[in-house]
Structure 1
Amino acid sequence: MGLHNDSMKLLQEIYDVCYNQHNHAYNISIKYFSGLTREARMQLESQLLYLKDESLITDYAPCSGTPFSVRPTSLGIQTVEQIAETVAPSSITIHGNVSGIVGNTVTGNTINQGYSFDEMQELIRNAIADPAEQQAIEAAIKDIYSRIEKEEPLEKGMLNKVATNIERYQGIIAAVGQTLTSYLLKM
C-alpha cells in the first residue's frame, strides 16, 4: 500500500482510540517505539508527519516517555466519518426547453448575472468602515454600472480607477470581476 492509504488506516486507529475508547490522545510509548524495527519506526513517523501536514491530526501533549501523543483535528474526524463539506453554488442553473424548438431540452446552461449596483453598495458598506473611502469606491463603480446599464463600452482607464480603489478588498474585487465578466460575455 502507499503512504496515503497507510496513513488513513493510522488515522482511523487514532480516531478509534480517542473517541471509541474514550481516551484524550493516541500515545505511543518509548518502549513500544524502541521495539519497532528501524523501517517500521520510519514508516510510523512518515505516516504521522503526513497526517500532520494534511492537518488531520495535531499534537496533544508532549510527555516524557511518550515520543508521540496526537489527537485528530476536526478535519481528521470529518475524514474518518466521511463527512463532505457542501459548498453553496455560486451560479444559477436553469433547465428547460430551448425557445423556438419544440421537444428539445437543454440542460446545464449556466447564467451568471453578476451583482446589481444596490448589492454592490451593500457589499461595500459591509466591507469598508471609512465613509470617505466607501464614497470613492461607490463613485468609481457607479460609472461602470451606468455604462453596463446603457450597454455602452467601457472607457479607457475606468477599470484602472476602480482597481486602485478596491485593491485591498478581496470580496469587492471578486464581485466586480463577476459583474464585468458577465457583462463582457454578453457583448
Structure 2
Amino acid sequence: MSIHTDSMELLEEIYHCCKTNQSFNLSQDYLFDLLPNKCHDLEMQVDYLRDSGYVSDFAPTCGFPISLKITSKGIMAIENVSTPVATSNVTNIYGSNFGIAGNNNSSNTVNNTFNYSNLQNIIDNSPYSDNEKQMLLNELKPLYDRIELGAPLEKGMLSSISDKIKDYQPLLGAVLSSLTTFLTTPK
C-alpha cells in the first residue's frame, strides 16, 4: 500500500479514538514491541498526517511518544465534507487600471456585484462632505438607471462621469465593476 492510503487508514483510527477519548496515544512500550520496519512505517504515517494538517500533537511529553488529536481538516477528510466554493461573477481586467501603478497590474480580479444601492452605501459611509456625496449620487444615478434598464449608454456619459469621480478612488472600482459587467454581458 502507499503511504497516503496507510496514513488515511490511521487517520480513521485516530478519528474514532478521538470521538470517544480526548486524544490518540501510543505508549513507549507499544512502540518497542513493534518490528523496526513497522515502527518506521507508523512514524512516516504520523509525519504525513501532521504535515498535511490532519492531526496535531496533543501531549507527547506525558510518556506517549505518539499523542495526537485530530484537526477539523482531518475530520472533514474522514467525513467526506467538502468546503463550499463561493461563486460570483469575476472578470479579469488587463492593462492600465486607473491609478494602479506597478509592474504587475496585468491580472487584477474585480468582483462584479455592485449595483446602485451598493454604491449609495459606499458613498454614504465615505468621509466626503455632504455636497460631494450628493454630487456623486446625482452624477451616477443616470448611469445606473440605464444599466438597470439594460439601455445603451448615451454618448459622452462615461467621459462626463469619469471627469467627476476621478478624484474619488474608492468609487472607481465599484463603478468599473458595474460597467464591466454591463458592457460584457450579452444582451
The Cα shift of 1:176 comes to 6.6
2: CA distance, partners of 1:32 / 1:83:
33
Secondary structure of 2:49 counterpart: helix
What amino acid is aligned across from residue 72 of structure 1 in structure 2?
I
Structure 1 residue 71 corresponds to structure 2 residue 69: yes
Secondary structure of 2:18 counterpart: helix
Correspondence for 1:95: none
1: CA distance, partners of 2:36 / 2:3:
17
2: CA distance, partners of 1:146 / 1:16:
59
**Which TM-score applies when normalising by structure 2?**
0.56
The Cα shift of 1:181 comes to 4.0
C-alpha distance after superposition, 1:132-153 (max 9, x if no partner): 279999x5xx76x949846368
The Cα shift of 1:182 comes to 1.8
Match of 1:85 among 80, 83, 86: 83
Secondary structure of 2:127 counterpart: helix
Correspondence for 1:117: 116
Correspondence for 1:44: 42
2: CA distance, partners of 1:3 / 1:87:
29
Correspondence for 2:32: 34
Aligned residues of 1:57 and 1:76 also touching (Cα < 8 A)? yes
Aligned residues of 2:88 and 2:112 also touching (Cα < 8 A)? no
**Which TM-score applies when normalising by structure 1?**
0.56
Aligned residues of 2:56 and 2:71 also touching (Cα < 8 A)? yes
Cα-Cα RMSD: 4.4
C-alpha distance after superposition, 1:2-32 (max 9, x if no partner): 222111111101011121xx21110011122
What amino acid is aligned across from residue 32 of structure 1 in structure 2?
Y
Aligned identity (percent) is 31
Aligned residues of 2:18 and 2:69 also touching (Cα < 8 A)? yes
Change (3 A) 1:90 1:43: same
Correspondence for 1:103: none
Flag structure 1 segments of 5+ consecutive residues without an equivalent.
92-111, 167-171
C-alpha distance after superposition, 1:141-171 (max 9, x if no partner): x76x94984636866xx6xx689648xxxxx
| Aligned residues between the structures | 151
2: CA distance, partners of 1:41 / 1:134:
71
Flag structure 2 segments of 5+ consecutive residues without an equivalent.
90-110
Secondary structure of 1:132 counterpart: coil
Change (3 A) 1:69 1:118: same
